[in-house]
Structure 1
Amino acid sequence: MASFADLLAEHVSEGAVTDEFEVDVGRKLGTGGYANVYLGKRRSDGTPVAIKVMKQFRWTRPGAEELAVLREIGFMRKISELDTPHLLGALAAYGRIFDVQRLCIVTPLCAGGDLFERIAGMGRYTERTAAARFRDMMVGLQRLHEAGILHRDIKPENLLLSARGDDDAVSVIADFGLSDREDECGPESGRPASRQLVGTLAYNAPEHLGRHPVWSPAGDVWSAGVVLFIMLGGSPPFYVDHRMPKRSHDEALKRVIREGKFVFYPSLFGTVSDRAKDLISGMLHVDPARRLTVDQCLAHPWLADNDANPDVALDAGQRELRLFNAKRKLRAAALACRWGARSPVHSALKDLVGGTSFSEAHIKAIARAFNEAKAADAAAAGAAAGASAATAAGAGGTAPAPAGKASLSRMSELTADRSQFERVMESLGFGGLPLGRMWELFDTDESGSVDVREVVAGLATLRSGGEDALQLCFDVLDADGSGHLEREELAIALSALAGAGAASDGEDADEAAAHLAFAFEAMDVNKDGRISLEEFKAGIAADPSLVGRFLRPLDSLGGDSSRALRAVADAAASPKET
């Protein structure tokens, strides 16, 4: 296997991504535990791109994670050479953004976003639409296998749409972090197969789950078959009770997958054609030797003759798919925060503030967080303008922390704009919340900037517990100020906080996500897909552990979450005085 230095020299340019591409740091396309993705465009011709900026990457003393990232870039560069719109390759990779050392990966922009999200949001979703989208995916998989590459992680999270318009969009396979060459991991490679699970268990083929895993193109076909089952019926073919402890859950799920028994429930598949069911059955054959190949799938009548497929709306499957999307996004948010909470940056900032009240040291620490955000902007602006960071700071780009006693009155001199505020709050562990809404609530004087006093006041309200804290929690989550919470948005926000807590407590993120999923279902009493303040209060009163998860970040802010939990739970259970 190539060394870190060899892979770095081969795949990553020493220059800055900003030399060749404009990066719109105000347009964040996505965020996760390891990276942020921004909108960008090529300077030479204006071609829109997506630019992934890694949050953490050890340039010195690299480990297995760094090697895996460079291997992924290598696969993505190879995939770009295949010149197919159905695979998301890498246009380039750089070691710097402006003059800051950060690993940056540039890819084509998939403006259509998440494939399953688009399907769930369609006004009318039919088998013909599903077949067209799925055929794109299988063409991409065919090209990948022809190049001798196994994806090994086909699942909904890794499927995108190239464009927003339905007529122009094609399905795109993304994320090659677990990919490998067939001749290096397949049965003919001679290399012992790792017994460690690769990818996501629910999408793994039976031959991956034994003592001697076997990797081949047939494994990707199985995963694609699971995806197609969900596309048409809205739920996975293989599942067990998610309330089971993780180890028991995983072992039970492995047994179900090895058996390969699944059911086309009439309530979900009643309007799905027999041709579609036949294709799924062929892709989910337990014996890989008897499983359909990619070429056979593409030749199957359901994919080869889409005009003959029913033009009937898959209403039941689409409704189930919306719930499935909410649960998978919840799990993704929890996992992102679980990994993000392990980062050195998060660990260093975990104890920014402490105690039951803000001391002078704590306020200075918050001020430093403000300063760091402003200094980073000043350095970037200076680099972009060809000036040094020191010159930018001298021109007012950086506001130095007020010297002397760190009183709240002195802190009014230290302000942050919206972008800087969001970075400060992410550092404090609140990145899973709608920070745009939090900005509006904390900018109490509507000045267009937030100073340390306003941040301290907002956090102090959360720390105090009681009715005010409960109302603030609801208002923050109510991102559009509608007076109701969308269940999916609530799931993402609270699971992000739960994920960070799970990381520190040793709790598995899957278990945290499963607990929250059941809690949200119970919270929406009238099943209208929205949660009112009263439903929010009732849910917290009925399940104190939910609010415990919500308030857990207060421990890292020096507060007492157990005390705040009692106060907020009491407020939730008590009728509001009039």
Structure 2
Amino acid sequence: MGSVGRTRVGKYELGRTLGEGTFAKVKFAKDVETGESVAIKIFEKDKILRHKMVGQIKREISTMKLIRHPNVIRMYEVIASKTKIYLVLEFVDGGELFDKIARNGKLKEDEARKYFQQLINAVDYCHSRGVFHRDLKPENLLLDATGVLKISDFGLSALPQQVREDGMLYTTCGTPNYVAPEVIKDKGYDGAKADIWSCGVILFVLMAGYLPFEETNLVSLYKKIFKAAFSCPNWFSTSAKKLIKRILDPNPQTRIAIPQIIENEWFKKGYQPPQFETADVNPVDVDAIFDESEEATNLVVERRKEKPDAMNAFDLISTSQGLNLGTLFEKQMVIIQ
């Protein structure tokens, strides 16, 4: 079997492309020192600069550095060459939660509750760090080999410094079917309450197999969202229906909050709070990543190793077609005008 030369970035040997988006591609890679599998999200600096994406990329990097939780994709480090930025991320090989729904249709209530519990745990932790995701949807939720949920794609997230003096965010963003009504109204919104609404839509999708708000026309869709005009299918339990209706409350002032969700009887069934150690997190110097001056000393060189190696387990895994980590970069991201 013929083999091909491999590209090496720092201590990482790059494998096949796992997915590709407008501004980034994700490659499977191996840490040659430890043998650990990772995913590397690669940005072209000139493309980021050309599309004025520097602020968004810096925000994504800063956010992922702040978050250290078992239900959030871990970022190990950020490295850069003169032309590229590399985010070295936890490798998750179970695919998207979206794929599981597309393949199996609706999930059983107990299974949906298990994923929803993990989602709420992660979102609660993000909010405690002042981070609001703002694009929660099943396509941005990955599963590892053991079925543990991991939130990915913080490209639209908001950090504490983006919150204005009135405590509100003002950037209208997200994916229309999952976005909270107050975000669309463009009069300022609470990032935590908007994320909770999206979690409610996700729970509905997990249990129903379809969206609560769906219209081909955006104006019609928004009218439904403003009124929370949806109905739960008859196979939802009464307690699940009640919780979803409290989450999908179009009035953010009366919408249920995470502490109340965690105390809800339906939510608490089989609930196991996450156990993890809070690590000290050192901030990334995101400005240094974009430093292309001759004085920049922290740049890596991407080099290609042409000498073929014998086919090993890593090569076999990296040529597998079963790995779909497309959501580690922006996919179907819609900015609402």
Whole-Å Cα distance in 2 between the matches of residues 46 and 233 of structure 1? 41
**Residue 264 of structure 2 corresponds to which residue in structure 1?**
300
Assess if the C-alpha contact under 8 Å between 2:168 and 2:190 holds in 1. no
For residues 411-434 of structure 1, the C-alpha deviation after alignment (integer angstroms, 9 at most, x for no partner) is: xxxxxxxxxxxxxxxxxxxxxxxx
Q: 1:62 Cα deviation (Å)? A: 5.8
Given candidates 105, 124, 130, the residue that maps to 2:87 is: 105
Does residue 252 of structure 1 match 2:213?
A: no
Give SS of 1:175's match.
coil
Q: Which amino acid aligns with 2:140?
A: N
Assess if the C-alpha contact under 8 Å between 2:23 and 2:48 holds in 1. no
**Residue 86 of structure 1 corresponds to which residue in structure 2?**
71
Q: 1:183 Cα deviation (Å)? A: 5.4
Does residue 32 of structure 1 match 2:13?
A: no
Assess if the C-alpha contact under 8 Å between 1:187 and 1:216 holds in 2. no
**Residue 424 of structure 1 corresponds to which residue in structure 2?**
none
Q: Which amino acid aligns with 1:101?
A: T
For residues 35-57 of structure 1, the C-alpha deviation after alignment (integer angstroms, 9 at most, x for no partner) is: 22111122232221111122x33
Given candidates 247, 262, 281, the residue that maps to 2:245 is: 281
1:36-55 equivalence runs, <5 A: 36-54=25-43
Give the share of equivalent positions with the same residue, in percent.
Answer: 29
Assess if the C-alpha contact under 8 Å between 1:276 and 1:302 holds in 2. yes
For residues 9-60 of structure 1, the C-alpha deviation after alignment (integer angstroms, 9 at most, x for no partner) is: xxxxxxx972222211xx2222222222111122232221111122x33289
1:127-206 equivalence runs, <5 A: 127-163=109-145, 168-182=146-160, 184-185=162-163, 188-189=166-167, 193-194=170-171, 197-206=172-181
Whole-Å Cα distance in 1 between the matches of residues 92 and 222 of structure 2? 34
Q: Which amino acid aligns with 2:100?
A: R
Does residue 290 of structure 1 match 2:254?
A: yes
Aligned length: 279
Dislocated runs of 4+, deviation >3 Å: 59-63, 119-125
**Residue 443 of structure 1 corresponds to which residue in structure 2?**
none
**Residue 469 of structure 1 corresponds to which residue in structure 2?**
none
Whole-Å Cα distance in 2 between the matches of residues 238 and 299 of structure 1? 27
Whole-Å Cα distance in 1 between the matches of residues 263 and 164 of structure 2? 25
Give SS of 1:111's match.
coil
1:267-346 equivalence runs, <5 A: 269-306=233-270
Q: Which amino acid aligns with 2:185?
A: G
Whole-Å Cα distance in 2 between the matches of residues 60 and 75 of structure 1? 18
Does residue 69 of structure 1 match 2:60?
A: no
Q: 1:200 Cα deviation (Å)? A: 1.0
Mind listing any 5+ residue stretches in structure 2 that lack a counterpart? Answer: 1-6, 272-300, 309-318, 322-331
1:395-434 equivalence runs, <5 A: none
Assess if the C-alpha contact under 8 Å between 1:186 and 1:214 holds in 2. no
Whole-Å Cα distance in 1 between the matches of residues 190 and 240 of structure 2? 26
State the structure with more CA Rg: 1
Q: Which amino acid aligns with 1:258?
A: F
Q: 1:155 Cα deviation (Å)? A: 1.0
Distance 1:124 1:287, change over 3 A: closer
Q: 1:162 Cα deviation (Å)? A: 2.0
**Residue 511 of structure 1 corresponds to which residue in structure 2?**
none
Mind listing any 5+ residue stretches in structure 1 that lack a counterpart? Answer: 1-15, 243-248, 308-378, 386-391, 398-435, 437-478, 480-498, 500-507, 509-578
Q: 1:219 Cα deviation (Å)? A: 0.4
RMSD across aligned C-alpha pairs, in angstroms? 3.2
- Considering Cα pairs closer than 8 Å and 6+ residues apart, tell me whether 1 or 2 has the greater RCO: 2
Distance 1:60 1:239, change over 3 A: closer
Distance 1:214 1:128, change over 3 A: same
Q: Which amino acid aligns with 1:69?
A: I
Q: Which amino acid aligns with 2:56?
A: A
Distance 1:20 1:295, change over 3 A: farther
Q: 1:86 Cα deviation (Å)? A: 0.6
1:362-377 equivalence runs, <5 A: none
Distance 1:272 1:59, change over 3 A: closer
Distance 1:174 1:187, change over 3 A: farther
Whole-Å Cα distance in 2 between the matches of residues 67 and 52 of structure 1? 17
Whole-Å Cα distance in 1 between the matches of residues 164 and 197 of structure 2? 16
Given candidates 14, 23, 33, the residue that maps to 2:14 is: 23
Whole-Å Cα distance in 2 between the matches of residues 22 and 125 of structure 1? 38
Distance 1:161 1:190, change over 3 A: closer
Distance 1:89 1:188, change over 3 A: farther
**Residue 117 of structure 1 corresponds to which residue in structure 2?**
99
Q: 1:182 Cα deviation (Å)? A: 4.2
Q: State the TM-score, normalized to the length of structure 2.
A: 0.74
Give SS of 2:198's match.
helix
Give SS of 1:172's match.
strand
**Residue 229 of structure 1 corresponds to which residue in structure 2?**
204
Assess if the C-alpha contact under 8 Å between 2:179 and 2:197 holds in 1. yes
